Structure 1
Amino acid sequence: MNDVDVLVAGGGPVGLAAAIEARLAGLTVALVEPREGPIDKACGEGLMPGALPLLQRLGVDPAGMPLRGVSYRNASKRADHRFETGVGRGVRRTVLQSELADRASELGVRFVDGRVDGIEQDATGVSAAGVRASWLLACDGLHSGVRRTLGLDRPVRRGRRFGIRQHFEVAPWNDLIEVYWAEDAEVYVTPIAHDTVGIAMLGAQHADFDAVVRSIPELATALADAAPASTRRGAGPFRQRAARVRLGRVLLVGDASGYVDAITGEGLRLGIDQARVAVASLLGGAGYEREWRRVTRDFRVLTSGLVAAARSPLRGGIVPLAARLPRVYGAVVERLAR
């Protein structure tokens, strides 16, 4: 006899979204997480327009700042595109997680303080963290312990990029996500409150956050008198691969299923969408592997191409090309924003 229908590993936004999705489908759910929430981690905190309807259908509508497009910039050029498909939102990760946790509690999700390390499964269920369930959704992030325990990690030897994020007390000066293309890193500026912006830097492991920010005159000026509003946090390496996204009764969801890079800033939207199709597959819908490939296809193709260009001699031409071909640039942004 199983204790619950679904066991979710990981209490971040994607794990909570998966738990809520399962409860809305009428399934009983236990969620395992060893850390007290809300859990703060390095991320861009920009929700693309396509993410908001996914959250709203879960009953969550977090407060934040409107994001109306994306601006690519370097020392001499800029390319702005305003979303045609809606408005995104800059939301502090801890705010989003708190609202998702409240919604999960309201729907009767059972929270378990523990870790999913030893996993046993058979034809009728899977056991982990002292709970037996019909299914396990592994939503435990970039460095998924479930993925590792099941032997599904695939080595990544090239393209190891990392991120650093910090918030600053300053009024947002734009309603676009600004992406500054420095020589060896990208810096993302996301407004998340009326008096706070988030600064996220993506680059090589030992890239100097302060030096990169100082090298961008607009940012150096905007942040000159701004006090830090959070501790600095890092993430990575981003490139992660899984041999497969399902093994028996275990489904890998979100970053746990593999990740290319944060360069397109749609990790949360992607993870929430994966949670949706994972639960649908448990209810007899289309196979998870096929649906996972479908909902992640644009992300994998476009992000891989952009990262390859960013790490090549073509890097310096990315912003000038976007400025010269605004329709092409806009089409790419819209494809990722939907």
Structure 2
Amino acid sequence: MNVIDTPSLDLERAEAFADRVGGMFDAGAAATMISIGHRLGLFDGMAGAAPATSTEIAASTGLAERYVREWLAAMTTAGILRYEPETRRFHLPPEHAACLTREAALGNLAVYAQHVSLLGRMEERTLHCLKTGEGTGYGDYPCFHQIMAEDSGQTVTAGLFEHILPLVAGLEARLEAGIDVLDAGCGRGLALMAMARRYPKSRFTGYDLCADAIAHAAETARAQGLSNITFETRDLTGYCEPGRWDFVTSFDAVHDQKDPEGLISGLCRSLRPGGSYLMQDIGGSAHLENNLDFPFATLLYAVSLVHCTPVSIGQGGAGLGTMWGWETAEAMLRGAGFKTVERHVLAHDPMNVWFVSRV
């Protein structure tokens, strides 16, 4: 019997790694607390305010003081809040508020902390999927559309007119004159409604598989008095309406589909001559080794395991996942029959890729 020598344990390296793993647990707990602080408006209430006691903070936010006190302690030990022991007051420094509030100068990173909480809430279902190979449905995920709407508000709607639509040459003039626009996989339709407000002569339609998201979008559009926009619950599997649209968008929606390649091909055929398709998706590579330094790579792969992959499989799809890769997306666009395909990465948003494809 051959015996393979086991190399001796490098105790120093092992202990350093154990410390790193312990830090991950602390960071995960902090992320969940950030999600709670965001959802309850605690960061917003503390931003710009003078240092305050737990009693004062609870009173100003309408929350229970005993629980607020524990949350404040967690955020203090995480280094997010500052604490004055002499007065027992807590403070959110402006440099920290700059990425943790709804008016954040650097964008509200607290929005993404909600994904961490959602991962935990979906653990049992994910265990089941790993054991059985089954998929999930959008209805399995609590608050999913609310989280994605907040995300879209930052990554899409906020920069829509300054950074995103200008990627399509000549589009603004066409929208002002009046064209037909589709958002395929529109969710709650924030970007589409922003365009409908700005370009009243154009006609806008949003399709999405999820009836609750469509109902929310339609209600919001009615409340805003938008008469040039419609929303429809629609499964886009096998979708094609030849020559129906002048401009089509998809914002972080294609990789979740049952058949992304078929959808892209159908959207290409649904454009009129001279039409354009603007597609946003996660800008990671299809190759793991290229993503080791990609922003939020671990979170994105985790979201892929818990949401994007099983949602696709649940529809009978291949489960390409969140990190299907810009290379895969570009190949599908070129194979769909578009005359030109351009890939863009915006300087302020290294996490996403934007494709402009023309027929």
Structure number with the bigger relative contact order (C-alpha 8 A, sep ≥ 6) is 1
Larger of the two Rg values belongs to structure: 2
**Higher share of residues assigned helix:** 2
Shared fold by TM > 0.5? no
TM-score range, shorter chain: under 0.3
**Higher share of residues assigned strand:** 1
